[in-house]
Amino acid sequence: MCGIVGYIGNKQAQPILLGCLEKLEYRGYDSCGVAIAGKDIEVYKDAIRVKMLGEVSPKLNGTTGIGHTRWATHGVPSQINAHPHLDCSGNIAVVHNGVINNCQELKARLIREGHTFTSETDTEVIPHLIEKYYHGNLEEATAAALDDIDGSYAIIVLAKDRAELVVARKDSPLILGLGDRENYIASDVPAILDHTDRVVYLEDGDLAVITRNEIKIKQNGSDVRRDEQKVSWNVEEAQKAGYEHFMLKEIHEQPKVIRNTLAEYTRATEHPVDLLGARDTGTDSMLLLACGTSYHAAMIGKYIIRELLKIPPRIEIASEFNYYSDVLSRAVAIAITQSGETADTLKAMKKLKEAGCRVLAVTNVVGSTASRIANETIYTRAGPEMSVAATKSFTAQLMALYWLGITQSRIDARKLASLLTELRQLPGKVQQILDDEAIIAKQARNLSRFENVFFIGRGINYPVALEGALKLKEISYIHAEGYASGELKHGPFALLGESSPVIAIVSKDNTHDAMLTNIKEVKARRSPVIALAEEGDEAIEEVADAVISLPRVESLFSPVVNTVALQLLAYYTAKERGCPIDFPRNLAKSVTVE
């Protein structure tokens, strides 16, 4: 969940590294630092944001360097714990993303051998191990050090008097950016888009030596070739484009994302996987798994698949599934991950592949690890999402699930045509919500006064309640919980009252009357109620304190319009409270550690 960058070329490395790190702050931002190889290795780091580091750091001269922006796993954010880390001699510097499981064992052994440690991090063992094995060949020393390590890593190694960088990856993403007599290294594509759109994705077990003119990659000691790929994103997509925050920009991009995603799928000539074939192999023959916001998309996908394909899929949180032993070898598994690098999801995908399952990945990143593990991949085409809070990527995931369900369903042809028409109208419906965002912002001003908020929904909008609560808590720091509406009576009622508002998500489907009853029950406990409902729903207006009216849609697609409204509600609530919206405390965009 940290961001690492490297540069080797003919230009001054420090400004390039700082610019790349700013693009990676969504991966971690509690501290940062750079190391530049000149006459000596010079390091400047601190527990501050990248922009401030650039303002206060001295000029470090050199055309080869590495940088890091941190999301703490071992040791509190501090100058000492910030990367890069050095060996005892100060001649070897390392930046690292991942977790070293046996760091205490290695550290104790190295201390007995005379090494001195200064930080609380697991990463610091890496430069000390490389120093131990270094006899003039940095590649060999790095390989020997990694043989001692149990854990996950993406590392860049810089050594004094060496016109090269050595990199390696295992269970953490790492890409190489190719330039003209210069090369770049980064955790993710947005870091290097200002400089190149030519990339090579390293695979697990790869170790590479990078010079300004050449890249040599090895796997298990043997030379391998990794294909060069061209990035489809552009620099403008990874910038704010006049919006105050990336999150607001990405919320507003959703009509375009829906159109682009549907256009991509419409051009496809084959289904990526036969979901209908799963119907004949047992009720547990289809599995949906994901983490975080992607898990909420998977929950909605369960309703979509059950409704359109008449298959009752099993759904699992990937981090929990990894500790189960009951994996069906004939299952079709759909793994959903925005980054394609979510550690728990990747671990589950590998487990499923080993068991003989057919694995389909739904991801936003071409060339990501998930796409390489999966038998087939559906790309969501949301473009780069820079805000930590997922918005447009969630909507794009829903589009992928709707398309899978609709195109492989066996429902009546007339009904199918109606659903396809409604699906193509969604961009316009979402735009209507965005055009009326001032109404939602007004409700957010009121909501921002509270410290506890409940979200309730039924049926396909129960996961939307969970997602709405997640968005509010992660960017506004308000304690928020999502519930299936019928569950309020089983405990949460004890917390209702004037200081606990309830956001009710109401759809014009078979849950409508039950939702009305639930709202009345909430009102009887004196909790203020803000309802999301279709325009013209007079019954809701009679019972709720405030109503956010949304365009009418087929109930199957109601999660899309409801989610967009809740994203705006969370955004404006956080803005009212003065929160750092794009970079909420303690969180990072890509969760690459278990």
Q: Which residues are designated catalytic?
A: 2, 589
Q: What are the backbone dihedrals phi and psi of residue 32, each rounded to the nearest 5 degrees, phi first?
A: -160, 170
Please check whether residue 504 is in contact with residue 522, taking contact to mean a CB–CB distance below 8 angstroms.
Answer: yes
Structure tokens at 546: 């405030």
- Angle at which helix 462-476 crosses helix 292-308, to 10 degrees, equals 170
Q: What is the DSSP string of 478-539?
A: -EEEEEEGGGTTTTGGGG-BTTB-EEEE--SSTTHHHHHHHHHHHHHTT--EEEEEETT-HH
User: Using CA atoms, how far apart are residues 506 and 516, in angstroms rounded to an integer?
Assistant: 8
Residues 6 or more apart whose Cβ sits within 8 Å of residue 433:
440, 550, 551, 561, 564, 565, 568
For residue 340, the one-letter residue type is G
List, in order, residues 6 or more apart from 307 with CB less than 8 Å away.
Answer: 405, 556
Q: Scanning the structure block, which residue is given the tokens 């930080």?
A: 119
* Rounded CA separation 62/12 (Å): 6
Q: Within 10 Å of residue 315's Cβ, how many Cβ atoms?
A: 19
Rg (CA), the chain: 25
What counts of helices (H) and strands (E) characterise the chain? 18, 25
Going by their DSSP bridges, the two strands 31-37 and 41-46 should be labelled as antiparallel
- Kindly list the strands in the beta sheet with 286-290, ordered across the sheet, starting from the edge strand earlier in the chain: 314-317, 286-290, 332-337, 358-363, 376-379
| Residue 472 DSSP label | H
CA neighbours closer than 13 Å in the CB half-sphere of residue 465: 27
- Across 52-163, the runs of DSSP E, i.e. the strands, are 64-70, 85-86, 92-100, 151-159
Beta bridge partners of 93: 86, 158
H or E segment to which residue 138 belongs: helix 138-147
Which helix (H) or strand (E) element contains residue 336?
strand 332-337
From residue 88, alpha-carbon distances to 78, 118, 128, 132, 142 in Å are 20, 10, 7, 10, 16
Q: Which residues contact 301 (CB under 8 A, 6 or more apart)?
A: 288, 313, 315, 334, 336, 398, 401, 405
479-484 sheet: strands from edge to edge: 479-484, 452-457, 502-505, 529-534, 546-550
Q: What residues have CB less than 8 Å from 520, skipping those under 6 apart? A: 543
Query: What does the H/E/C string look like for 232-249?
Result: CCCHHHHCCCCCCCHHHH
Residue pair 205/186 in contact by the 8 Å Cβ criterion: no
